[in-house]
Structure 1
Amino acid sequence: MTSKAERTYTISQLAREFEVTPRALRFYEDKGLLTPRRDGMNRVYSHRDRAKLQLILRGKRVGLSLIEIKEILDLYKVDQRAQAQTALKKYKSRIVALEAQREDVDAAIEILHDSVKQLEEFLAKPAAPAAMANARAFEAEAKKRLQDAH
């Protein structure tokens, strides 16, 4: 029976498990983020490669660049404590950035709600007769231009 550390995966298995394309896995390999061994023309991914892929996708999900992700992954070989410290620093920085974005999004949503309310109130009122006449004249002119264009 193979242990978890000895288990291997094909590109198709990892792509299916993590809902990514094989092309994405090859891209991460080209960028030096994954280093599967080769068995002829086939890529053979280890349990460690699988764990790296999980970290890559998690990092991308929270907005880290591939360079930042690679920096974190590369530190594993050198010093796991330094890797953890670097990851912690980058994660805290992303939290600050995402919280600021959330405040901006919340403010934009509030502005939109206010605008929708004002527009709905405006449109709920009956139009003034002069406005109705202007709207009809605009419609008639638009129809005439459309007919002249054909």
Structure 2
Amino acid sequence: MTDRTYTIGELAKFFDVTPRSIRFYEEQDLLTPERIGQSRVYHTKDKVRLKLILRGKRLGFSLAEVKNLFELYDSNPNSAAQLEAMLQMTEHKRALLRQQLDDIQMLMNELDEVESRCREELNELERGN
């Protein structure tokens, strides 16, 4: 079975990202396409990594965190160290999101109070006229 290859344009279209984004991930050593002349040739491994990069970004992980996971995987696929690192990262991310959620709820409550006061004052002004 031969490994499927992709152009940068095909990957960009498949994942709905710009070729520039893919080149940026390459500059960050997250992707390592094969070079044939001036062309980049991406393999299935690169496609999977791009999918993981984008998923990591969507979950709020930094590119450095994603790179760290890739390095752990490359040094020892399916290792306990990689899984432990992922668990620590998800726990940390979850704690940050909970804090943000608490902060947002507090701001929403404050906005509700301000809105309520403004409506009350507006009603009083309208009754006074």
TM-score by length of 2: 0.88
Q: Give the whole-Å Cα distance in 1 for the aligned partners of 2:70 and 2:119.
A: 53
SS in 2 for 1:64: coil
* Offset from partner CA, 1:111-149 (integer Å, 9 cap, x none): 1112111111111222698xx9xxxxxxxxxxxxxxxxx
Say how many residue pairs are matched: 127
Match of 2:45 in 1: 48
SS in 1 for 2:84: helix
* Offset from partner CA, 1:16-60 (integer Å, 9 cap, x none): 111111001000100100001112211111111111111111111
Match of 1:69 in 2: 66
Aligned-partner residue type, residue 24 of structure 1: S
Q: Give the whole-Å Cα distance in 1 for the aligned partners of 2:87 and 2:55.
A: 14
How big is the alpha-carbon RMSD for the aligned residues of Structure 1 and Structure 2? 1.9
Q: Give the whole-Å Cα distance in 2 for the aligned partners of 1:8 and 1:106.
A: 47
Aligned-partner residue type, residue 82 of structure 2: Q
Relative to structure 1, is the Cα distance of residues 27 and 38 closer, same or farther in structure 2, using a 3 angstrom cutoff?
A: same
In terms of Rg, which structure is larger?
1
Q: Give the whole-Å Cα distance in 1 for the aligned partners of 2:16 and 2:120.
A: 46
Which residues of 2 match residues 1-150 of structure 1 at below 5 A? Answer: 6-79=3-76, 80-81=78-79, 82-126=81-125
* Offset from partner CA, 1:60-102 (integer Å, 9 cap, x none): 1222221111111111111231222211211111011111111
Identity of aligned residues (%): 39
List gaps (5 residues or longer) in structure 2: none
